[in-house]
Amino acid sequence: MTLSFVAGSLLNGLLVGGVYSLMAIGLTLIFGVMKVVNFAHGSLIMLGMYTSYWAVILLRFDPYLAILVSLAVLFIIGACFQRFLINPILNAPEHNQLLLTLGVSLFMENLAVFLWSPDYRVLKTSYAEVNFYLGDISISLVRLLAFVSAMILAGILYLVLTRTDLGKAIRAASEEPKGALLMGINIRRLYMITFGIGAACAGVSGAAIAPFIPVYPYVGWLFVITAFVVVVLGGMGNILGAFVGGLIIGVADSVGAMFLPGAMKSIISFTIFIIILLLKPAGLFGRKNG
Amino acid sequence: MAEPRGHLKRKLGLSTWIAVVCVLAALHALPWVFPSILHIMIMIFLFSLMGQGWNVLGGYAGQFSFGHSLFFGVGAYVSSLLFVRLGLTPWIGIFVSCGAGILLGLFVGFLSFRYGLKGPFFALIMLAFAEIFHMTATGWSAVGGALGVLIPLKGNAPGLMQFLRKEPFYFLTLWMMVGSLYLVWRLESTRLGLYFLATREDHDAAEALGVNTFRAQMAAMAISAGLTSIGGTIYAQYLLYIDPDSTFGVVNSVEIMLRPIIGGPGTILGPLLGSVVLTPLSEITRLAFQSYSGVYLMIYGLILVAVIMFLPDGLIGFARRVVKKFQKGAA
């Protein structure tokens, strides 16, 4: 194992980690604002991948232009999901919301099997095999582009949350929902928009990885647990924590891939997950314990 | 204090006893009347047994697990490996499996409950443990790797829990299921059962009243893990083949927990009722849409969403409400 190989796989892990960050930001945003643990996040990622895949195959879009299609489609799906399914049971015990999103996830995944068959589909692009070199470290172009796309959306989201009235309202609702309601913020509409944004994050991260990860109906399972690991690592509801956590888990996964057989590479991140949940459930950057 | 204790003594009325005896007699005659549905009945009983395991922890003690395939898989793997490698009969293996499941459950429970993990966090930590075992079973060739374990068929060997006909499995699973019903029925009236309910309803209040919630949750975990592991062993002996996906896979966690949730979490008959509804549904749609093997999971998803939105206390809760309405209407 040469040094450049190690450095290369750590760097590629970091690039994928950027996408994990975006997935986790979507999940943590939804949790932070409406305290819903969205188990269907993996299915939303899967839908984002398929949206981008079909936009490329049927409409002949460029894969990176298709990201915008995924963003729009998933925003609408997410907003409808919140409006018609989550909203009616928002005051039910929290495990009911978890179970509801599990049911939606089962439905969406197996609907995808029904509609598009369980086959693995590969989104072929002209630059899929392009690697470029930093010294003798090889970096894959599609992973770099995925990282950049994820970072751009995360950056825009950060600006929206900090600089706009909508962002202020979202942050207010996440800190003090009753207070926000009393200040005249339309909480119902805000919840819909927030869920839409969270789903759009999932959609964009799915579309961004579609050029190098095969698309199939159960692909979401590869990521949903990882996204939970990242969210818990960064602290439930903490967006900055999710960002940093994503990079950490991306690197941890690539370290795992170097030492463990393929099927077991995620054991490291799962172990981190369990340790964090047990020792510091508020996350690495959590303000208070428990 | 005499009255509340008397209230706790479990007694069934004569009519209930007659009904129970009639149902059991009918179930014993069933293999001769409808031999073709034995497989579905075995699956109903088996998943009802494991669903009852989930129900003790999730329904009664209020800790929702998203990873009960962990115990299912441990139950299946421990007895199968003991049989294939050491020739140990699964009749002993089932006790070892059960013990291994309980120990593992106590380990996970100790870690989680000591820190007061609950709600989605506990659900996810169970899922993470199940996935770690899933990945280990897939990657570790000493336990069969991704190919799994094939249990050699020794012909009709009752001493090795192997039968060429389905009837013995039918009676085995039937009585295991009835045993789990009896266990939970008795549990409901014990002090421990009441501690479970108190912990579920209000953790802090229970603690303030002197209930050791940690011990109550650990006990619920042990019973739950044990019952589910037993189901795993019987499943392995019935199908004679196990692999990581069909045991530790997430689908099994869903299969196990959906039964009590749909039937009615925290009720004695909930898991059985849920199993009676779901098992035929999955078996029939699997036959009807062979090329789309996931259709039954799509229906599961729809049912789960509908139950959570409209019948959050399951079919039993719904039936109770209907009965109450009628009684009110009559009065």
Residues within 8 A of A (CB atoms), B 93-112 only: 111-112
Residues with Cβ within 8 Å of residue A103, at least 6 apart in sequence: B300, B301, B302, B303, B304, B305, B308
Beta bridge partners of A132: A139
Q: What is the mean pLDDT of residues B228-242?
A: 94
The two tokens of residue B110 are: 């100790």
Whether residue B138 and residue A107 make contact (CB cut-off 8 A), yes or no, is no
CB < 8 Å to A224, chain B = none
Contact B179, B186 (CB under 8 A): no
Q: Is A275 on the interface with B (CB under 8 A)?
A: no
pLDDT attached to residue B180: 95
CB < 8 Å to B115, chain A = 277-279, 281
Predicted confidence (pLDDT) at residue A45 exceeds the cutoff of 90: yes
Would you call B241 helix, strand, or coil by DSSP?
strand
Predicted confidence (pLDDT) at residue B42 exceeds the cutoff of 50: yes
Contact B72, B229 (CB under 8 A): yes
pLDDT range class, residue B1, cuts 50, 70, 90:
very low
pLDDT attached to residue B302: 92
Predicted confidence (pLDDT) at residue B3 exceeds the cutoff of 50: no
Higher pLDDT, residue A140 or B49 = B49
Predicted confidence (pLDDT) at residue B225 exceeds the cutoff of 50: yes
Whether residue A106 and residue B111 make contact (CB cut-off 8 A), yes or no, is no
> DSSP assignment, residue B147?
G
* DSSP annotation string for B25-91: HHHHHHHHH-GGGHHHHHHHHHHHHHHHHHHIIIIIS----S-THHHHHHHHHHHHHHHHHH---HH
Q: What is the mean pLDDT of residues B107-124?
A: 85
Q: What is the pLDDT of residues B177-191, one digit of tens each?
A: 999 999 999 999 899
Q: What secondary structure, in 3-state letters, does A82-110 show?
A: HHHHHHHHCCCCHHHHHHHHHHHHHHHHH
Return the residue of A nearest to B119 by Cα.
Answer: A95
CA distance B33 to chain A (A): 36
Residues within 8 A of B (CB atoms), A 49-68 only: none
Q: Is B64 on the interface with A (CB under 8 A)?
A: yes
Determine the longest span between alpha carbons in chain B, in angstroms: 67
Q: Which of B116, B124, B297 is closest, CB to CB, to A228?
A: B124
Give the whole-number percent of chain A exceeding pLDDT 70. Answer: 98
Q: Round the average pLDDT of chain A to a whole number and report it.
A: 88
Q: Report d(CA A259, CA B220) in Å as an integer.
A: 38
Predicted confidence (pLDDT) at residue B144 exceeds the cutoff of 90: no
pLDDT attached to residue A287: 55
| H or E element at residue A131 | strand A131-134
Q: What is the mean pLDDT of residues B136-158?
A: 86
Where are the domains positioned within chain B? 2-330
Predicted confidence (pLDDT) at residue A176 exceeds the cutoff of 90: no
Predicted confidence (pLDDT) at residue B174 exceeds the cutoff of 70: yes
Q: Which residue out of A110, A229, A253 would a mutagenesis test of the B interface target, given it has the greatest number of B Cβ atoms within 10 Å?
A: A110
pLDDT attached to residue B2: 40
pLDDT attached to residue A53: 94
Q: What is the pLDDT of residues B63-97, one digit of tens each?
A: 999 999 999 999 999 999 999 999 899 999 999 99
pLDDT attached to residue B51: 96
Predicted confidence (pLDDT) at residue B236 exceeds the cutoff of 90: yes
pLDDT attached to residue A266: 77
pLDDT attached to residue B305: 93
Q: Report d(CA A246, CA A135) in Å as an integer.
A: 26
Q: What is the mean pLDDT of residues B308-325?
A: 89
Q: What is the mean pLDDT of residues A220-240?
A: 87
Chain A with chain B: Cβ pairs closer than 8 A: 130
pLDDT range class, residue B296, cuts 50, 70, 90:
confident
ipTM value? 0.88
Contact B217, B61 (CB under 8 A): yes
CA geometry: angle B317, B321, B324, nearest 5 deg = 140
- Other beta carbons within 10 Å of B330: 6
CB < 8 Å to A102, chain B = 66, 254, 301, 304
Q: Report d(CA A177, CA A190) in Å as an integer.
A: 11
Give the whole-number percent of chain B exceeding pLDDT 90. Answer: 55
pTM of the model: 0.89
The two tokens of residue B141 are: 């060739």
B2-330 CATH fold: ABC transporter involved in vitamin B12 uptake, BtuC (1.10.3470)
Beta bridge partners of B242: B149
CA distance B162 to chain A (A): 32
pLDDT attached to residue B253: 93
Where are the domains positioned within chain A? 18-219
Q: Which residue out of A102, A119, A264, A289 would a mutagenesis test of the B interface target, given it has the greatest number of B Cβ atoms within 10 Å?
A: A102
Q: Report d(CA B6, CA A255) in Å as an integer.
A: 62
Higher pLDDT, residue A73 or B124 = A73
Q: Report d(CA B290, CA A113) in Å as an integer.
A: 12
Whether residue B64 and residue A98 make contact (CB cut-off 8 A), yes or no, is yes
Q: What is the mean pLDDT of residues B8-21?
A: 80
Return the residue of A nearest to B65 by Cα.
Answer: A95
Q: At residue B98, what is the residue type? A: C
Higher pLDDT, residue B256 or B1 = B256
Q: What is the mean pLDDT of residues A201-230?
A: 90
Q: What is the mean pLDDT of residues B282-296?
A: 79
Residues with Cβ within 8 Å of residue A163, at least 6 apart in sequence: none
Return the residue of A nearest to B66 by Cα.
Answer: A99
Higher pLDDT, residue A131 or A66 = A66
CB < 8 Å to A37, chain B = 120, 124
> DSSP assignment, residue B249?
S
Q: Is B251 on the interface with A (CB under 8 A)?
A: no
Name the H helices within chain A: 3-34, 41-59, 63-81, 94-116, 141-163, 165-175, 177-182, 187-209, 220-234, 239-259, 267-279
Q: What is the mean pLDDT of residues A108-113?
A: 92
Contact B308, A100 (CB under 8 A): yes
